[in-house]
């Protein structure tokens, strides 16, 4: 396509897309990983992703490769960052455009396919050695999530539709990897007028039932747009 | 390098880096543009940038291409987003990793070189038709800047070391493309304890001299880390 051979040397690269999919379950932050079925890093755990086709948009490639490796469809993916160290791929120069998303684990049933031997949620706190620079990509995504919940609400994407204040506190604690002071957390969260009290209690739990809440969707969108400062630093234990 | 021909078709792409350099002068937000000296888009204004070499890291390529097209060195560049529509480049599949930065205009003397016929600061509010999808990239960078100053301080990178409250207000007004109510703005800014009163007035100005301030660098870094909510929406005229 290009008329001059002096550009030829630039047209020898490839690019991939990789997705960091966060979920939250049993009080722990999790990431969806696939076990690779081809070289390089055959049999390693890795982020869902693959090469981008010549005629394919990046966002479209992220959706397709996520579907083809995990079965997940229609996930809201946002670009995280592009990683492109010269030595990061054994086959040549390959840069990867990383995406990330927060999802409700219960909404999806991941399944492996030809490009993945296995697909599974892994605790973020106990990740194996991942293929390529994928541990670094997960680290970047996690830092971004940690920072973002200081000025934006979180939970709508990760919690079930009805949840307790303890569920929400556990989510913040899992992301910040810390313990928060209960009274302080509740006071702050309730003052934001983000939650709707469902005026019902949990059912079928072994402990004393707690009050159920849902997010006020309009207020949630407003706070996502406007931002706020979630001043809980003083309540942190480290 | 890769052992199997089925991957050959992926290794036919190129990538570039492009930088959105914001500056602020005479009350207006500006962007540094180069006039291209080769096809495609010969003679068009464009963002500073070029092809990434095979053995070069992305951040390194961003620094090099900025230097080689504008003469600017040691600029703090942050990744913005990667743009990769299949049809965006005439020579084949080329994705671009966009970077952005805020700089003090007075700190640099841009100069054109072999890859650029000219280099000049342009008012953001009156940009020409740029090469490739560069208008879209500038739009994305501008939106990000607008959002970020709602939860992070701005000005340290764009204003001279000593400035007046009016200078700072003009910066916010230029970024938000709106007028702010003076009393409200001052009250809010001063309450953040971000500014150090130099206890001196401007000299050699035609109007009544105003008080000079500088940023408290430590407080600036704290607020950049922690975030805040800059509640001035009610003061906006649109």
Q: What is the CA radius of gyration of chain B?
A: 20
Number of domains in chain A: 2
- A-to-B residue pairs, Cβ atoms closer than 8 angstroms: 112
In a domain, A219, yes or no: yes
Cross-chain residue pair A57–B226, CB shorter than 8 Å: no
Contact at 8 Å (CB) between A25 and A105? yes
Instruction: Give yes or no for B86 touching A (CB within 8 A).
Output: yes
Asked if A54's CB is within 8 angstroms of B15's CB, the reply is no
- The CATH number that applies at residue B193 is 1.10.10.10
Give the domain-ending residue among A120, A148, A176.
A148
In chain B, residues 158-217 whose CB comes closer than 8 Å to chain A: none
**Is A12 in contact with B12 (Cβ distance < 8 A)?**
yes
Q: Does residue A76 lie in a domain region?
A: yes
**What is the model's pLDDT at position B238?**
34
CA within 13 Å, CB half, A60? 9
Round the average pLDDT of chain A to a whole number and report it. Answer: 91
| Model ipTM value | 0.90
Tens digits of residue pLDDT in A136-180: 999 999 999 998 888 889 999 999 999 999 999 999 999 999 999
User: SS3 for B118?
Assistant: strand
B58: which chain A residues are within 8 Å (Cβ-Cβ)? 82, 84, 95
Residue B121 in any domain: the answer is yes
Q: Report the chain B residue with the minimal C-alpha distance to residue A223.
A: B229
Same domain, A137 and A171: no
Contact B54 A13 (CB under 8 A): yes
Q: Other CB atoms closer than 10 Å to residue A233's CB: what's the count?
A: 10
Say whether both A192 and A108 belong to one domain.
no
Q: Within a domain: residue B4?
A: no
Residue of A1, A4, A11, A38 best to disrupt the B interface, most CBs of B under 10 A: A11
Residue of A15, A58, A226 with shortest CB distance to B150: A226
- Does B11 sit within 8 Å of A91, measured CB to CB? yes
Range of A200's domain?
A: 165-235
One domain for residues B25 and B83? yes
In a domain, B187, yes or no: yes
Considering CB atoms only, which of A3, A86, A91 is closest to B1? A91
Q: Backbone phi, then psi, for A148, in 5-degree steps?
A: -65, -30
Same domain? A24 vs A142: yes
Cα B235 to chain centroid distance, Å, stands at 25
pLDDT of residue A36 exceeding 70, the answer is: yes
What CATH code is carried by the domain that includes residue A59?
3.90.79.10
**How close does chain A come to B137, measured CA to CA in Å?**
14
Mean pLDDT of A103-123: 92
**For every residue of chain A, which 3-state class applies, written as one string?**
CCCCHHHHHHCCEEEEEEEEEEEEECCEEEEEEEEECCCCCCCCEECCEEECCCCCCHHHHHHHHHHHHHCCCCCCCEEEEEECCCCCCCCCCEEEEEEEEECCHHHCCCCCCCCEEEEEEEEHHHCCCECCCHHHHHHHHHHHHHHHCCCCCCCCCCCCCCECHHHHHHHHHHHHCCCCCHHHHHHHHHHCCCEEEEEEECCCCCCCCCEEEEECHHHHHHHHHHCCCCCCHHHCCC
Residue A51, chain B, CB below 8 Å: the answer is yes
Tokens of B111: 């100069």
A164-178, A201-215, A219-233, B99-113: the lowest-pLDDT one: A219-233
Residue A13 distance to chain B (closest CA, Å): 5
Cα separations in angstroms, A142 against A18, B141, B190? 15, 23, 34
Boundary (domain end) residue, out of A98, A121, A148 = A148
CA-based nearest distance B172→chain A, Å: 16
- Are B36 and B119 members of one domain? yes
Q: Are residues B121 and B201 in the same domain?
A: no
pLDDT of residue B22: 97
Q: Is residue A216 part of a domain?
A: yes
A58 contacts chain B (CB < 8 A): yes
Helix (H) or strand (E) holding B20: strand B14-25
Position B157 in a domain: no
* Angstroms from B105 CA to nearest CA on chain A: 28
Chain A residues lying within 8 Å of B81, measured CB to CB: 79
Strands A14-25 and A94-102, sheet pairing: parallel
B233 touches chain A (CB under 8 A): yes
A95 in a structural domain: yes
Per-residue confidence (pLDDT) for residue A152, from 0 to 100: 86
From residue A179, give the alpha-carbon distance in Å to each of A166, A190, A213: 12, 18, 21
pLDDT value, residue A2: 59
Rg (CA), chain A: 20
Q: Do B80 and B189 sit in the same domain of this protein?
A: no
> Splitting chain B (238 residues) into consecutive groups of 10 residues, what average pLDDT does each group show?
74 96 94 94 96 95 95 94 95 96 93 90 96 98 92 91 95 93 93 94 91 95 81 44
B83 in the same domain as B57: yes
- Cβ-Cβ contacts under 8 Å, B147 against chain A: 227
In this prediction, residue B102 carries a pLDDT of 95
φ/ψ of residue A27, rounded to 5: 75, 5
Please check whether residues B25 and B101 belong to one and the same domain: yes
Measure in Å the smallest separation between the Cα of A20 and chain B Cα atoms.
16
* Residues A196, A141 share a domain: no
Give the whole-angstrom CA distance, residue A46 versus residue B124. 42
Kindly identify which residue of chain B lies nearest to residue A92, measuring between CA atoms: B1
CA distance to partner chain A, nearest, from residue B201 (Å): 34
Contacts of residue A78, defined as CB under 8 A and 6 or more positions apart, other chains included, come to A99, A100, A101
Residues A46 and A97 in one domain: yes
A26 and A79 in a single domain? The answer is: yes
CB atoms A54 and B86 under 8 Å: yes
């Amino acid at each position: 396509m290009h008329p001059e051979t002096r550009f030829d040397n630039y047209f020898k690269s490839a690019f991939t897309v990789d997705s960091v999919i966060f979920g939250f379950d049993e009080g722990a932050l999790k990431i969806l990983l696939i076990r690779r079925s081809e070289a390089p890093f055959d049999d390693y755990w890795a982020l869902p992703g693959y090469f981008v086709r010549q005629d394919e948009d990046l966002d479209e490639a992220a959706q397709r490769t996520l579907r083809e490796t995990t079965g997940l469809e229609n996930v809201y993916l946002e670009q995280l960052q592009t990683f492109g160290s010269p030595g990061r791929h054994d086959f040549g120069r390959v840069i990867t455009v990383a995406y990330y998303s927060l999802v409700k684990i219960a909404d999806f049933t991941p399944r492996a396919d030809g490009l993945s031997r296995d697909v599974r949620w892994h605790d973020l706190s106990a990740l194996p050695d991942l293929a390529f620079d994928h541990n670094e990509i997960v680290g970047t995504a996690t830092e971004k999530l940690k920072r973002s919940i200081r000025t934006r609400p979180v939970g709508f994407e990760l919690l079930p539709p009805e949840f307790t204040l303890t569920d929400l506190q556990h989510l913040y604690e899992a992301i910040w990897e810390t313990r928060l002071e209960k009274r302080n957390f509740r006071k702050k969260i309730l003052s934001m007028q983000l939650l709707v009290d469902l005026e019902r209690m949990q059912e079928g739990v072994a402990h004393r039932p707690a009050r159920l809440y849902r997010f006020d969707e309009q207020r949630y969108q407003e706070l996502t747009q406007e931002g706020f400062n979630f001043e809980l630093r003083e309540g942190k234990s480290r």
